[in-house]
C-alpha cells in the first residue's frame, strides 16, 4: 500500500503543468460539455503553448461552434509543432473550406491522406472539394426525371438507394447477389438476388420488360473493370441508339482508392480502365464522365446492340488494360477520362 501511495505521489509531481486541465478537458469533451472542455484546453495551452493535442481539441471545438478562424489558428499551430499529425492537417482543411479557401483546404487534406491513406473522412471531404454540385444520386434522379425511361436495369443495388429513384411508371429490374434493401421501391420494381453474369445467362431481358429495350441502365456492381465490361456488353445488347448507360466510380480520387484490391474504406476500384477502353475500342460511342461526388458518373450514349467488338476481343482487351498502371492518368486525367461538368443544363443538352 505504501509503495503504491509513493508511486502515485511521485507520478503526480512529474505530470506536466497543463496535464490535469487537458485530461479534464477530454472528459468534458466526451460528455458533450464543449464550453467546459474549451476552458480546460485553454488552461492547458496557457501552461503548455506547444501542447499539440490541446490545440487539436480546441480547434475541434471551435469548428463545432462556428469559430472557424480560431479553429484554423489552432490547427495551423498544431501542424507546425507536429508535421506528422494527421488530425491537425485534416482539421485545417475543414477550417479552410469553411472560410472559403478551397485550394488551401485541398492541400491540407492531401497532406493528411499522404500521412494516412486510410483516413476515411478525408476521402469524402476531398471528393466534395473536387466535385462540387449535386451528389451522384441527385444526378441519377435528374436522369430519371428528364428521360422518363419506360425500363431501367441496375446492377449492384445494395441497400436500394439508387434503384429507389426509379419512377412509379418505370419497369425496373435490380440485380445484386446479396441485396439488403432498406428503401421503399416503386411497384414496378423487381430485385433478382443473383450475380449479373448469372442473370444475363438465365433471363430473357426483353421478355421481362414486356418486349421493350432498356432505356436507362446503371452499372454499380463489382469494382473491377472486367466485371463492369461484361455488364456493359450484356446490357448494350438490349439497348437502342437512344438508350443511356450510367456507370459509377469512373473518376478515381487517388491511387490508393483505385486499386483492384480494397485497402481503404473509400474505394472505387479500377473502373477508370473501362472508360479508357471504351474510348479506344468503341469510338462510335459518346463517353463522358460527369464530375459528381464521390467518384464521377460515367454516361454512355449512342449505344449499338449489334456491336460485337468488345465481346470478340474481350480477353485481349482485359489483358491490355490490366497492364496499365494508374500513373498513365498523370499525363491528362481529366482529358483521358472525358471529364464533363456537373452542370445539369449542359448534361441535358447532350441528351437530345
pLDDT of 7 above 60 = no
Mean pLDDT of the chain: 93
pLDDT in tens, 265-288: 999 999 999 999 999 999 999 999
Across the range 92-100, mean pLDDT stands at 97
CA–CA separation, 90 and 75 (whole Å): 9
β-pairing, 244-248 vs 171-175, is: unpaired
Q: By the 8 A CB rule, do 163 and 175 touch?
A: no
Q: Where in the chain is the domain with CATH 1.25.40.10?
A: 17-116
pLDDT in tens, 47-73: 999 999 999 999 999 999 999 999 999
pLDDT of 9 above 60 = no
pLDDT of 82 above 70 = yes
pLDDT in tens, 301-334: 999 999 999 999 999 999 999 999 999 999 999 9
CATH domain 136-349 topology:
Rossmann fold (3.40.50)
**Which element (helix H / strand E) includes 151?**
strand 151-155
Report the predicted TM-score, pTM, of the whole model to 2 decimal places: 0.88
Across the range 183-207, mean pLDDT stands at 97
Q: Where in the chain is the domain with CATH 3.40.50.150?
A: 136-349
pLDDT in tens, 196-240: 999 999 999 999 999 999 999 999 999 999 999 999 999 999 999
Domain 17-116 in CATH 1.25.40.10? The answer is: yes
Q: By the 8 A CB rule, do 223 and 294 touch?
A: no
Amino acid at each position: 500500500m505504501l509503495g503504491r501511495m509513493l508511486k502515485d505521489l511521485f507520478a503526480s509531481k512529474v505530470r506536466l503543468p497543463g496535464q490535469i486541465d487537458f485530461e479534464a478537458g477530454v472528459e468534458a469533451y466526451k460528455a458533450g460539455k464543449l464550453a467546459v472542455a474549451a476552458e480546460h484546453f485553454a488552461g492547458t495551452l496557457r501552461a503548455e503553448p506547444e501542447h499539440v493535442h490541446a490545440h487539436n481539441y480546441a480547434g475541434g471545438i471551435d469548428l463545432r461552434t462556428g469559430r472557424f478562424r480560431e479553429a484554423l489558428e489552432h490547427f495551423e499551430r498544431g501542424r507546425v509543432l507536429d508535421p506528422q499529425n494527421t488530425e491537425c492537417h485534416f482539421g485545417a482543411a475543414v477550417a479552410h473550406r469553411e472560410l472559403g479557401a478551397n485550394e488551401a483546404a485541398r492541400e491540407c487534406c492531401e497532406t493528411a491522406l499522404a500521412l494516412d491513406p486510410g483516413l476515411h473522412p478525408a476521402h469524402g471531404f476531398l471528393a466534395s472539394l473536387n466535385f462540387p454540385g449535386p451528389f451522384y444520386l441527385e444526378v441519377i434522379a435528374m436522369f430519371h426525371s428528364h428521360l422518363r425511361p419506360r425500363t431501367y436495369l441496375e446492377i449492384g443495388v445494395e441497400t436500394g438507394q439508387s434503384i429507389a429513384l426509379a419512377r412509379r411508371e418505370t419497369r425496373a429490374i435490380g440485380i445484386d447477389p446479396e441485396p439488403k434493401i432498406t428503401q421503399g421501391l416503386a411497384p414496378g420494381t423487381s430485385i433478382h438476388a443473383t450475380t449479373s453474369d448469372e442473370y444475363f445467362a438465365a433471363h430473357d431481358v426483353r421478355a421481362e420488360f414486356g418486349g421493350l429495350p432498356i432505356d436507362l441502365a446503371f452499372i454499380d456492381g463489382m469494382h473491377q473493370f472486367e466485371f463492369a465490361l461484361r455488364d456493359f456488353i450484356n446490357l448494350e445488347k438490349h439497348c437502342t441508339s437512344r438508350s443511356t448507360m450510367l456507370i459509377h466510380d469512373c473518376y478515381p480520387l487517388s491511387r490508393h482508392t483505385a486499386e483492384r484490391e480494397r485497402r481503404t474504406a473509400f474505394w472505387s476500384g479500377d473502373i477508370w480502365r473501362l472508360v479508357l477502353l471504351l474510348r479506344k475500342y468503341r469510338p462510335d460511342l459518346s463517353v463522358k464522365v460527369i464530375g459528381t461526388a464521390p467518384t464521377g458518373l460515367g454516361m454512355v450514349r449512342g449505344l449499338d446492340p449489334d456491336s460485337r467488338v468488345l465481346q470478340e476481343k474481350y480477353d485481349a482487351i482485359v489483358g491490355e488494360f490490366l497492364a496499365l498502371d494508374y500513373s498513365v492518368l498523370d499525363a491528362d486525367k481529366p482529358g483521358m477520362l472525358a471529364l464533363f461538368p456537373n452542370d445539369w443544363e449542359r448534361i441535358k443538352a447532350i441528351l437530345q
